[in-house]
Amino acid sequence: MLDVRRLRVLKEVAVQGSFSAAAESLDYTQSAVSQQIAALEREAGARLLERHPRGVRLTDAGRALVAHTEVILSRLADAEAELDAIAGLRGGRLRLVAFPTAGASILPEAIARFRAEAPGVELSLEPREPDEGLACLHAGECDIAVTIRAPHRGTPDDGTMRRHLVDDAMCVCLPAGHRLATAPTLRLADLSDEAWLVGSTGRCPDTAVLLHACQSAGFEPRIGFHSDDYLAMQGFVAAGVGVALIPELALVTVRDDVVIRELAGENHHRVIEAATLDGAYCSPATQLMLDLLADVSDAFPRRGGGLALAS
């Protein structure tokens, strides 16, 4: 294995034309330069320099090695510059995956702020359902997965680190003409006879949140229809197919023919988290995005404090 430091010495000797001039340029003693060249010749297994009255001259092997040395030192300089850029958020890349409602609510502002602070970092975002996002993370296909957890299930031991972003409250979505649309208070048990719209079982923790909430209220929900699109779900509610629990982050857009109500005295929510691999290197870009996601989530407009009866 050739020593890079000795290659630097050889290149300097070739440039300066003598051991003494190379020693002065490198701030070495002439003896140290001579020792470095001798050691490099042993590593290379070839004579690299020939002495003559006016200095030294490269052998064929020496010329070949100096040519490669120039390429090696150039690539090392490029590597050092790239590492400095990544450390200073002037380069590198960051890959995100997120479930759709986060992509329509939290992520736009977080990405805009990230690009303002780190314009040199290559940033990508792909939509993935929570289980798909975690699979991408474990496969090394992303750096951060914004995901969902049902709070009653606890934090999983799945080899990830979870950064809590927000407890996303679940709100009731009713048709505008529903008998309880203007009731002064509303509890989940009041809707025990209704048909419910839920996501595809097993695809998203939101279904687990609904089932657990209904069971806690003393009834098993009657499932009227499945949909993984919350805007489409509002359409089904408006058409009278059933009622639904919809998280606040999915209420960026609300139809005029549905009513969004909070549940009095009840706290049903899903936990939104940013997951990274446990023990993996956290780059400056990853850390910046985690902090921005937390800040944006904390400041995201809430409908709470008395939800509008109709929107």
Q: Please write the tens of the pLDDT for every residue from 238-281.
A: 999 999 999 999 998 899 999 999 888 778 889 999 999 898 88
pLDDT band at 202 (very low <50, low <70, confident <90, very high): low
Show me where the domains of the chain are located.
Answer: 4-87, 93-299
Spatial distance between the Cα atoms of 121 and 89, rounded to a whole number of angstroms: 6
Q: Give me the amino acid identity at 38.
A: A
CATH number corresponding to 4-87? 1.10.10.10
> In this model, does residue 177 exceed pLDDT 70?
yes
Q: Give me the amino acid identity at 106.
A: I
Q: Give me the amino acid identity at 27.
A: D
pLDDT band at 79 (very low <50, low <70, confident <90, very high): confident
| Better pLDDT: 158 or 86 | 158
| pTM over the 0.85 mark | no
| Better pLDDT: 164 or 152 | 164
Q: Give the pLDDT of residue 111.
A: 96
The dihedral through the CA atoms of 255, 259, 262, 263 has a sign that is: negative
Q: Give the pLDDT of residue 310.
A: 39
Q: Could you report the per-residue pLDDT of 277-306, keeping only the tens digit for each?
A: 898 888 889 999 999 999 999 888 765 433
Q: Give the pLDDT of residue 74.
A: 77
Mean pLDDT value across residues 86-105 = 86
Question: What's the chain's length in residues?
Answer: 311
> How much of the chain, in percent, has pLDDT values that exceed 90?
45
Mean pLDDT value across residues 53-71 = 88
Domains 4-87 and 93-299 share a fold: no
pLDDT band at 203 (very low <50, low <70, confident <90, very high): low
Within 8 A by CB and 6+ apart from 169, the residues are 247, 248, 262, 267, 268, 269, 302, 304
Q: Does domain 93-299 have CATH number 1.20.1560.10?
A: no
Q: Give the pLDDT of residue 302.
A: 66
Locus of tokens 């049902």: 150
> In this model, does residue 91 exceed pLDDT 50?
yes
> In this model, does residue 145 exceed pLDDT 90?
yes
Q: Which is nearest to 306 in space by CA: 275, 270, 260, 273?
A: 260
